[in-house]
Amino acid sequence: MSEFDQDTSPEALRIAVLSWLDTYWDSDNRHPLNEPAYDRRRWRQQVLEAGLAVPSWPPEWFGLGMTAAQCKVIEKAFAERNAPGTGLDRYHLGAITVFKAGSDALKREMLPELLTGPICCLLYSEPNAGSDLAGIRTRAEQEGDKYVINGQKVWTSNAHEADYGMLLARTDWDAPKHRGITFFLFPMRQAGVEIRPINQITGESEFNEIFIENALVPERFMIGNLNEGWGSFQTAIAYERLIMGQGITGRRRVSATRGRPPLLELAEKNDRLNDPVVRQRLAQALAYREVNSLNNERAMTQMMTQGSMSLMSLSKLAMSRIQHGEAAIATDLLGPKALLDGPDNSDAANTNFDAAKAYMNSIGGGTDQIQRNIIAEKVLGLPKEHEPDKGIAFREVKSGTGSGTTG
């Protein structure tokens, strides 16, 4: 039985969590107490056993049955003590997907492992299945109690570190495209998995292409039912978009309401703060950022009180406007200096980086245009556009830039 009571007051919960942390965690040295080295897995295990890794999940599934508000209290207490390991029910996409969509057997077998160590990467997009993600062509064919996987995935981050991949693969080529997809927990460390880094326009290589040739996944690692993977995937992608909208992907995170914003500093440094046109643009840019955080606050409240996700869907779209807009202003503030780059020209380098990185939000996890479709259809209830591939056996569907079909 856990020492953290669901019925306790927020203040009592905070004190209980802090006292738990003070027993086991050295907040000054960011290190478990009485342990020679920081063993990530062992600490995670300890947090998990206390129910604090996934506090919103029910007690029979590693959690404490806490409300969103109570989880926030717990997260704040962890932050106060510089301790990692909580909030996995909000951030660990792999574990969340298994928890929401997996069978009891899979959850019993894999959740304790996923929640204490392994990193999960996402094997969703393919070269010919980007915005039209349900058009995936990676195939999974049953052979005894295993599935054999063949195909190519792209835009996978953390692939080298990952032990598992959340894999979408086609299992029925005669069903319409959404109804022949199965979701698997795919072991990454095996022959037949080749990882090639992608050189991104920012100069970074966070993402990879994954070539999968005759790799195997046990049947019991299927998440949800055969050919019903698209539904489970919707849960996973909603979390990913939510996390992106909170701006977690941005390199510099600055509080939206306190302190002097970097854009203002840049304007001052370049002696442009007295230009009224520049001032108007700066004000509008700062406003978009502040309003987005106000929207997010309302979205959290709305989700907690009414269970509604409608406002949540806006933040990713808003973030694109913020990031592209700020980069455009910064570029103008620098003037001709914006053509420079490199460590000797850090303002220009940062600005150029931000200008390129903004596409990460406006394309990654679903382009702004796809996001607008989602808002219009799922939130505003506007009808879907005509879909030529609807109801047609997937092997007959046209794909990519060519007109040919495969199967």
Partner 1 sequence: MNTIQESERTAIREALVRFLRAEAGEDKLRLGMKSERGYDHRLWQQMADMGLLGIALSETYGGIGGSTLDAAMVAEELGRSLLPVPFIETCVIVPSLLESSDVAEKMRAVFSSIVQGTATIAIGGSATLAPYRDSTCALRIDDNGAISGEVSLVMHGAHADYLLLVIDSDSQPRCFLVSAGMEYAAEEQTANDPALRPATIRLNCAPGIELTGLNKDDLEHARLQGVATLSALQAGAARAIFEITIDYLKTRYQFGRPIGSFQALKHIAADLFLEVESAASAAHAAANALASADPLAARSVALAGFICNDAFRDVSAQAIQLHGGIAYTQEHVAHLYWRRARATLSMLGDSDTHRETYLSAWETAA
Residues that bind partner 1 (CB under 8 A): 257-261, 264, 273, 276, 279-280, 282-284, 286-287, 290-292, 294-295, 297-298, 311, 314, 317-318, 369, 371-373, 375-377, 379-386
Which helix (H) or strand (E) segment holds residue 326: the answer is: helix 314-334
Check: CB of residue 122 under 8 Å from CB of residue 166. yes
Q: Which is nearer to partner 1, 95 or 312 (CB)?
A: 312
Q: Which is nearer to partner 1, 77 or 263 (CB)?
A: 263
Strand segments (E) across 64-206: 119-123, 139-143, 146-157, 162-170, 181-187, 193-197
Quote the CA–CA distance of 329 and 351 in Å, as a whole number. 9
Q: How far is the CB of 125 from partner 1 (least distance, A)?
A: 21
Q: Which is nearer to partner 1, 195 or 273 (CB)?
A: 273
Q: How far is the CB of 94 from partner 1 (least distance, A)?
A: 30
Q: Which is nearer to partner 1, 213 or 297 (CB)?
A: 297
Q: How far is the CB of 238 from partner 1 (least distance, A)?
A: 16
Report helix, strand and coil shares of the chain as percent, to nearest 5: 45, 15, 40
Q: How far is the CB of 244 from partner 1 (least distance, A)?
A: 15
Quote the CA–CA distance of 60 and 263 in Å, as a whole number. 48
Q: How far is the CB of 280 from partner 1 (least distance, A)?
A: 5
Q: Which is nearer to partner 1, 297 or 396 (CB)?
A: 297
Task: Retrieve residue 189's tokens.
Answer: 């460390």
Q: Which is nearer to partner 1, 77 or 267 (CB)?
A: 267
Q: Which is nearer to partner 1, 214 or 308 (CB)?
A: 308
Amino acid of residue 331: T
Which helix (H) or strand (E) segment holds residue 215: the answer is: strand 207-218
Q: How far is the CB of 307 from partner 1 (least distance, A)?
A: 17
Q: How far is the CB of 336 from partner 1 (least distance, A)?
A: 25
**Closest residue by Cα to residue 183 from 91, 88, 103:** 103
Q: How far is the CB of 240 from partner 1 (least distance, A)?
A: 19
Q: How far is the CB of 349 from partner 1 (least distance, A)?
A: 25
Strand partners, 122: 166
Quote the CA–CA distance of 115 and 278 in Å, as a whole number. 48
Q: How far is the CB of 252 from partner 1 (least distance, A)?
A: 17
For residue 278, give every residue at least 6 positions away whose Cβ sits within 8 Å of its Cβ, in sequence order, or none: 267, 272, 329, 332, 333
Q: Which is nearer to partner 1, 56 or 367 (CB)?
A: 367
Buried b (16+ CB within 10 A) or exposed e, 9-33: eeeebbebbbebbeebbbeeeebbe
Q: Which is nearer to partner 1, 75 or 290 (CB)?
A: 290
Beta carbons within 10 angstroms of residue 165's beta carbon: 28
Beta carbons within 10 angstroms of residue 307's beta carbon: 8
Quote the CA–CA distance of 21 and 81 in Å, as a whole number. 7
Tell me the pairing of strands 162-170 and 119-123.
parallel
Q: Which is nearer to partner 1, 273 or 392 (CB)?
A: 273
